[in-house]
């Protein structure tokens, strides 16, 4: 069998926090590439609950539990530049994006078109969320957790604990919903 170039994909996101929905897309993306780089975006405009360093660490811990599915190497890297520049720096030929609902498609479609203009050598691949993960979003997880709801089925345990700790800190500072 002839040697072929390593297929590198980038799965970008804010991951504030990483959820079981993200992990589902990551696991499925490992079937498409030889190496998957999870790009954790600075994205200060979204006002993340966790710092970039915390989001990278939580994502690394959550991904480590996956144990290299499908023989794919997975790494987590922060980035603050244009996604297509980051992908090119990583040697990626593919951007992986997850879609939960039709409402995600329009934005992602426009973004894929812009990205193709910036670098036509990098393709965008969309993976539909699995039925069990379609409703999970970081925003909802944070809201449910902040209000004392059970989020154990939406996030890995390490993330559940980090959220509980963060919400306890907020409450102690008088910032939480019960303050």
**Span 48-62, pLDDT tens digits:** 999 999 999 999 999
Q: What's the confidence (pLDDT) of residue 67?
A: 67
Q: Are β-strands 35-41 and 73-79 bridged in parallel, bridged antiparallel, or unpaired?
A: parallel
**Percent of the chain residues topping a pLDDT of 90:** 74
pLDDT tens for residues 81-115? 999 999 999 999 999 999 987 778 888 999 999 99
Q: Does residue 85 have an active-site annotation?
A: no
For this structure, is 22 an active site residue? yes
> What is the 3-state composition of the chain as percent helix, strand, coil, each rounded to the nearest 5?
45, 20, 35
Q: State yes or no: pLDDT of 80 exceeds 80.
A: yes
Annotated catalytic residue 138: yes
Tell me the pLDDT tens digit for each residue of 132-177. 988 899 999 999 999 999 999 999 999 999 999 999 998 888 776 6
Residue 38's SS3 state is strand
User: Is 62 strand, coil or helix?
Assistant: helix
CA distances from 157 to 66, 77, 98, 132, 162 (A): 13, 21, 22, 18, 9
Q: Which of 46, 85, 121, 132 is catalytic?
A: 46
Q: How far apart are CA 17 and CA 156, in angstroms?
A: 10
- CA 55 to chain centroid, in Å, comes to 10
Does 173 participate in catalysis according to the annotation?
no
Domains for the chain: give ranges and CATH numbers.
Answer: 8-172 (3.40.50.620)
């Amino acid at each position: 069998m002839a040697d072929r170039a390593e297929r590198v994909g980038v799965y970008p996101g804010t991951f504030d926090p990483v959820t079981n929905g993200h992990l589902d897309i990551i696991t499925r993306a490992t079937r498409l590439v030889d190496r998957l780089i999870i790009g954790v975006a600075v994205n200060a405009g979204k006002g993340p609950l966790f710092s970039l360093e915390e989001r990278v660490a939580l994502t690394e811990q959550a991904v480590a539990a996956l144990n290299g599915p499908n023989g794919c190497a997975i790494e987590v890297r922060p980035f603050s530049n244009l996604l297509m520049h980051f992908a090119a720096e990583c040697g990626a030929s593919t951007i992986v994006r997850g879609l939960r609902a039709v409402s995600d498609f329009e934005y992602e479609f426009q973004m894929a078109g812009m990205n193709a203009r910036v670098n036509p050598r990098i393709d965008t691949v969309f993976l539909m969320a699995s039925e069990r993960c379609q409703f999970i979003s970081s925003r909802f997880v944070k809201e449910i957790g902040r209000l004392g709801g059970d989020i154990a089925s939406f996030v890995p345990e390490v993330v559940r604990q980090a959220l509980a700790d963060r919400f306890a800190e907020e409450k102690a500072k008088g910032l939480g919903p019960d303050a």
